[in-house]
């Protein structure tokens, strides 16, 4: 141990350490301003990359103990108990009337709050939190996703579809209000 500490003080070792430090050093990322950037949670759903703003996201959670609800819209998969709160789980693909595009392993939910609503969106993989410049967003081609532009904020060059959660949550379709006749 003493030898190693002594060896570290030799000029060669010091040079090596400096070289390593240079390699490992990362330039500080210039954080864009809030007006010109969006902080989003990126997730994947059926080979597609989606994102939504973090201000709507409460928590991401693994999907467990899904209880299907009868007499609901097809996009409502069921309900889950998240920390003692009963939360409906919505499948965005069915909500957007997208055809099934391959297999999915739905085992993540993103709990979203807004407009007095709290619900879980199904996701395959939660990629993580990203900061997207607003000017990089473009209007998506309608043929591409089949999601109407009303629910989209835009699309990045990497084909990341950024959802507009305000509009989705404000959509009256999402409200489940049915009465079951006896």
Minimum Å gap between C-beta 111 and other proteins is 10
The binding track of 80-119 with respect to other proteins, each residue x by CB under 8 A or -, is ----------------------------x-----------
Q: How many residues bind other proteins (CB under 8 A)?
A: 14
- Residue pointed to by tokens 């819209």: 73
58/136 with CB nearer other proteins: 58
Sign of CA dihedral 68, 111, 63, 150: positive
47/138 with CB nearer other proteins: 47
98/127 with CB nearer other proteins: 127
Of 9, 30, 13, 32, residue with least CA distance to 21? 13
Minimum Å gap between C-beta 81 and other proteins is 17
Of 113, 131, 144, residue with least CA distance to 51? 131
Query: Which residue(s) pair with 42 in the sheet?
Result: 51, 128
The binding track of 24-63 with respect to other proteins, each residue x by CB under 8 A or -, is ---------------x-x------------xx-xxxxxx-
Task: Write the DSSP assignment of 62-89 as a string of letters.
Answer: E--S-EE-SSS-TTEEEEEEETTEEEEE
Contact 112, 61 (CB under 8 A): no
Minimum Å gap between C-beta 168 and other proteins is 18
Site residues, other proteins (CB under 8 A): 39, 41, 54-55, 57-62, 108, 126, 128-129
């Amino acid at each position: 141990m003493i030898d190693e500490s002594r060896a570290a003080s030799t000029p060669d070792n010091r040079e090596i350490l400096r070289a390593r430090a240079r390699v490992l050093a990362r330039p500080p990322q210039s954080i864009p301003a809030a007006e010109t950037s969006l902080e989003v949670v990126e997730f994947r759903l059926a080979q597609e990359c989606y994102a939504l703003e973090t201000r709507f996201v409460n928590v991401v959670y693994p999907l467990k103990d899904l209880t299907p609800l009868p007499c609901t819209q097809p996009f409502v998969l069921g309900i889950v108990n998240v920390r003692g709160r009963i939360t409906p789980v919505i499948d965005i693909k069915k909500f957007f009337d997208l055809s099934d595009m391959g297999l999915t392993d739905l085992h993540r939910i993103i709990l979203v709050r807004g407009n007095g609503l709290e619900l879980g969106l199904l996701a395959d993989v939660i990629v993580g939190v990203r900061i997207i410049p607003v000017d990089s967003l473009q209007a998506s081609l309608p043929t591409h996703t089949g999601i109407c532009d009303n629910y989209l904020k835009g699309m990045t060059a990497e084909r990341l579809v950024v959802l507009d959660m305000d509009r989705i949550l404000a959509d009256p379709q999402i409200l489940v209000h049915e009465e079951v006749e006896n």
